[in-house]
């Protein structure tokens, strides 16, 4: 098929637009927001290149205005999942043999559609569906998804170029086959980019996919699917299904052709899915690949030499952007006693200056949390902290779900370094701080390492290089993404490949070639030019 060794465009990160007053991007996104907010969208499933409506529907409402309805989506019965699987397997016959540059062309086109004609729409959808501020929507739904699509094409060619040595009489080649069967993408609510990337990166490598987005992200998932369609993803290659996650997963995993799970979401669900795959292992035609990026209890530790204002800013940004609903959000901090007074005052000043409300008002830094279940859970932990003797709330602590699911950014200070909110992932705008004796740095590093089951992100702030060296060593297993003198959030595709260890996931680094390698099964081909005709080796005489 190939008639040239093609170079792909060099991937560059999409510049983040500013949305300053008077800018064209600000006008465009607000116009799109208004139009979408004030209309009703019907979201079908998408199976075998066709919109599928079932008549069994659920409504969609913005978390910041939960009585307002922006549309409905159709949910699957088991027969729809069976159809998604069989059409994916049918589509595989042509897709797996599609020349790589043609697959690349489709996803590079998808990136440019998002960068241009779909940018306002995908950002507005993310503001409405997931209550992101325009900045959070821009860095996620537009820029990160564009980056994933562009960089993955480059990573794919890097992988394909990894070839073994050959000799004059034998030519050794590796081809990177897609997995045999179909793959399953299960995506979380909190990143539109992850929702798009999980199915897209598997499809880019030649796989066919059944994709189940989160119920809380369907509205922006629809825009992703519209982009994929317009970019030319062929029928059956990515099939989108909505509805009961247990029924969908049971049906997918009962198929002997299930060949891979690409999951991002909570740790408990991932462990359950892994167990289910294990229980079915005798039924599969191939060992399914399992990639999961899950929860975190991400930390900031400051050394006594750190700058208090920098520490406070790392906390304010790291803990509260997108209401703390980033897997990387700082949710526990360890502050030395000498800095505490200043850090405390700066953080309280920051938190009190945050404006909270609808993302349509671009003055707001904080909006609503994703749904009532999340709101109720966070309110419960806040109430508990108010009641507990060993915890004190020094900022925030209020909540109100009358119009939207609004939780005030909340700072808890505890005297117990193992206090429940120091250990448990809350996934909301709540950080817990433990103030340690400034002379007990080494002991505190041990505490950081031993406090949580997770190992996703973490940060050390220090002006003392020996303290940085010590933290880098002592904390080597408790963060897959480790930050020095920065907040622990904000990974950029192509710059900081992302993923955690321990209970946080399989650490297959989204936004890197390592992740794409999980979706191929290499075939070694040795071609011998002069084939022997005598079994006797020279030593036989
Ligand atoms: P979630 O686990 O509730 O849902 C994730 C996906 O799993 C959704 O599509 C959901 O419908 C599906 N699901 C739920 N129950 C299921 C079941 N029984 N069987 C099969 N599928 C099921 O997570 P969420 O609330 O959408 O996202 C937040 C979580 O995701 C947090 O724990 C966060 O730390 C994690 N996260 C991790 C990363 C990372 O890169 N490590 C990135 C984003 C989010």
Which atom number of ligand 1 is nearest to the Cα of residue 246? 19
How confident is the model at residue 1, as a pLDDT? 60
Cross-strand bridge partners of residue 60:
71
Q: Which residues of the chain have pLDDT under 50?
A: none
How far, in Å, from the CA of 416 to the mean position of ligand 1?
Answer: 29
Write out 104-150 in H/E/C secondary structure. Answer: HHHHHHHHHHHHCCCHHHHHHHHHHHHCCCHHHHHHHHHHHHHHHHH
Cβ-in-10-Å burial (0-12, 13-18, 19+) of 355 comes to exposed
Nearest CA to ligand 1 atom 40: 293
How far, in Å, from the CA of 527 to the mean position of ligand 1?
Answer: 46
327 is catalytic: yes
Write out 504-519 in H/E/C secondary structure. Answer: CECCCCECCHHHHHCC
How confident is the model at residue 541, as a pLDDT? 82
Report the sign of the C-alpha dihedral through residues 501, 502, 503, 508, in that order.
positive
How confident is the model at residue 329, as a pLDDT? 98
For ligand 1, whether the C-beta of 264 sits within 6 Å is: yes
How confident is the model at residue 2, as a pLDDT? 76
Nearest CA to ligand 1 atom 10: 214
State phi, psi for 170 to the nearest 5 degrees: -145, 130
Strand-pair category, 170-178 with 520-528:
antiparallel
Which atom number of ligand 1 is nearest to the Cα of residue 500? 41
Type and span of the H or E element at 398: none
293 is catalytic: yes
> Which domains does the chain possess?
24-294+505-523 (3.40.605.10), 298-484 (3.40.309.10)
How far, in Å, from the CA of 349 to the mean position of ligand 1?
Answer: 33
How far, in Å, from the CA of 193 to the mean position of ligand 1?
Answer: 14
How far, in Å, from the CA of 265 to the mean position of ligand 1?
Answer: 2
What lies within 8 Å, CB to CB, of 8 at 6+ separation is 101, 104, 108, 153, 154, 157
The per-residue DSSP string of 212-243 comes to: E--GGGHHHHHHHHHHHHHHTPPTTTEEE--S
What angle, 0 to 180 degrees and rounded to 10, lies between the N-to-C axes of helices 100-115 and 145-161?
160
How confident is the model at residue 362, as a pLDDT? 98
Which atom number of ligand 1 is nearest to the Cα of residue 498? 40
For ligand 1, whether the C-beta of 187 sits within 6 Å is: yes
DSSP 17: P
* Closest by CA position to 371, among listed 106, 207, 130: 130
For ligand 1, whether the C-beta of 184 sits within 6 Å is: no
Write out 69-86 in H/E/C secondary structure. Answer: CCEEEECCCHHHHHHHHH
Q: Are 430 and 410 in contact (CB under 8 A)?
A: yes
CA-CA distance, 146 to 148, in Å (whole number)?
6
CA-CA distance, 91 to 28, in Å (whole number)?
37
For ligand 1, whether the C-beta of 374 sits within 6 Å is: no
Which atom number of ligand 1 is nearest to the Cα of residue 427? 31
* Closest by CA position to 177, among listed 287, 263, 281, 92: 92
């Amino acid at each position: 098929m190939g008639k040239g060794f093609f170079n792909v465009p060099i991937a560059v990160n999409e510049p983040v637009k500013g949305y300053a007053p008077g800018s064209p991007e600000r006008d465009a996104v607000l116009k799109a927001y208004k139009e979408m907010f004030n209309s009703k969208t019907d979201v079908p499933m998408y199976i075998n290149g066709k919109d599928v409506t079932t008549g069994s529907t659920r409504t969609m409402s913005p978390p910041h205005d939960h009585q307002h309805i922006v549309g409905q989506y159709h949910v699957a019965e088991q027969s729809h999942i069976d159809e998604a699987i069989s059409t994916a397997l049918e589509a595989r016959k042509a897709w797996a043999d599609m020349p790589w540059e043609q697959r690349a062309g489709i996803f590079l086109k998808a990136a440019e559609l998002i960068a241009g004609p779909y940018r306002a729409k995908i950002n507005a959808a993310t503001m409405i569906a997931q209550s992101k501020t325009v900045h959070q929507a821009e860095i996620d739904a537009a820029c990160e998804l564009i980056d994933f699509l562009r960089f993955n094409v480059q990573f794919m060619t890097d992988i394909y170029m990894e070839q073994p040595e050959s000799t004059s009489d034998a030519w050794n080649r590796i081809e990177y086959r897609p997995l045999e069967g179909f793959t399953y993408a299960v995506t979380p609510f909190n990143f539109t980019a992850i929702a798009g990337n999980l199915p897209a990166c598997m499809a880019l490598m030649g796989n066919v996919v059944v994709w189940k987005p989160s119920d809380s992200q369907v509205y922006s998932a629809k825009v992703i699917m519209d982009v994929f369609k317009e970019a030319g993803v062929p029928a059956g290659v990515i099939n989108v299904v909505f509805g009961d996650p247990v029924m969908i997963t049971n049906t997918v995993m009962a198929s002997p052709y299930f060949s891979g799970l690409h999951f991002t979401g909570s740790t408990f669900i991932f462990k359950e899915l892994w167990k289910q795959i294990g229980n079915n292992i005798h039924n599969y035609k191939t060992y399914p690949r399992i990639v999961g990026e899950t929860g975190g209890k991400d930390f900031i530790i400051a050394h006594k030499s750190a700058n208090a204002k920098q520490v406070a800013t790392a906390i304010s940004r790291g803990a509260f952007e997108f209401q703390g609903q980033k897997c990387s959000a700082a949710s526990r901090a360890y502050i030395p006693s000498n800095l505490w007074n200043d850090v405390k005052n700066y953080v309280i000043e920051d938190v009190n200056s945050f404006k909270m409300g609808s993302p349509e008002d671009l003055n707001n830094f904080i909006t609503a949390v994703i749904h009532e279940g999340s709101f109720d859970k966070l309110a419960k932990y806040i109430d508990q902290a108010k009641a507990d003797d060993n915890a004190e709330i020094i900022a925030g602590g209020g909540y109100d779900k009358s119009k939207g699911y609004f939780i005030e950014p909340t700072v808890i200070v505890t005297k117990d370094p193992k206090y429940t909110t120091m250990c448990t992932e809350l996934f909301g705008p709540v950080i817990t701080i433990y103030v340690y004796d400034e002379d007990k740095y080494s002991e505190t590093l041990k505490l950081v390492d031993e406090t949580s089951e997770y190992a996703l992100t973490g940060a050390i702030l220090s002006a003392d290089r020996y303290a940085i060296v010590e933290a880098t060593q002592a904390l080597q297993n408790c963060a897959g993404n480790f930050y020095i003198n920065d907040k622990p959030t904000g990974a950029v595709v192509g710059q900081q490949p992302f993923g955690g260890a321990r209970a946080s996931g399989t650490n297959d680094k989204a936004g890197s070639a390592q992740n794409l390698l999980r979706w191929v099964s290499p075939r070694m081909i040795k071609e011998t030019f002069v084939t022997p005709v005598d079994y006797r080796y020279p030593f036989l005489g």
